[in-house]
Amino acid sequence: QVQLMESGGGSVQAGGSLRLSCVVSGYTNRRSFARTCIGWFRQAPGKEREAVATINPENTPPIYSDSVKGRFTISPHNAENTLSLQLNQLKPEDTGMYYCATRYDGLFCGPQLSPADYAYWGQGTQVTVSA
């Protein structure tokens, strides 16, 4: 059973920073953390869930949404099966629940993928940015 656990959310003022972390467990020998597509998503109240940053640590460089490019950095830590997301220059529109998700069986990472293409999800961590 693959499990993901996010942490690091909180409340900050605009311009501030946060660092989110996602610990992944349950990979088998058939799949490893470093060889599958994994990423961060967010969902604001009344809006659809959207991809923020995704990566396949061994095969695909990071892919960022246009709204966070240059401000957020996704980093895989393969030895610890951990995925972090550094959030800098935060804006009120970054407010939402942030989720970590993995495709598990999917190696391909790309902007054309939707949240439905990701097999396992964490419970989320809330980020609130005040003006």
Q: How confident is the model at residue 109 (pLDDT cuts 50, 70, 90)?
A: very high
Structural contact between residues 82 and 27, judged by C-beta atoms closer than 8 angstroms: no
Pairwise CA distance, residues 25 & 20, whole Å:
17
Q: Which two tokens stand for residue 107?
A: 């190696």
- Run of H or E including 7: strand 3-7
Q: Residue 127, CB half-sphere, CA atoms under 13 Å: how many?
A: 31
Q: Is pLDDT above 80 for 28? A: no
The confidence score (pLDDT) of residue 29 equals 60
Phi, psi of 92 (to 5 degrees): -55, -35
Structural contact between residues 75 and 55, judged by C-beta atoms closer than 8 angstroms: no
Closest CA to 43 of 13, 19, 9, 88: 9
DSSP class of residue 80 equals G
Task: State the CB neighbour count (10 A cutoff) for residue 76.
Answer: 20
- Per residue in 32-75, pLDDT (tens digit) is 888 889 999 999 999 999 999 999 988 889 999 999 999 999 99
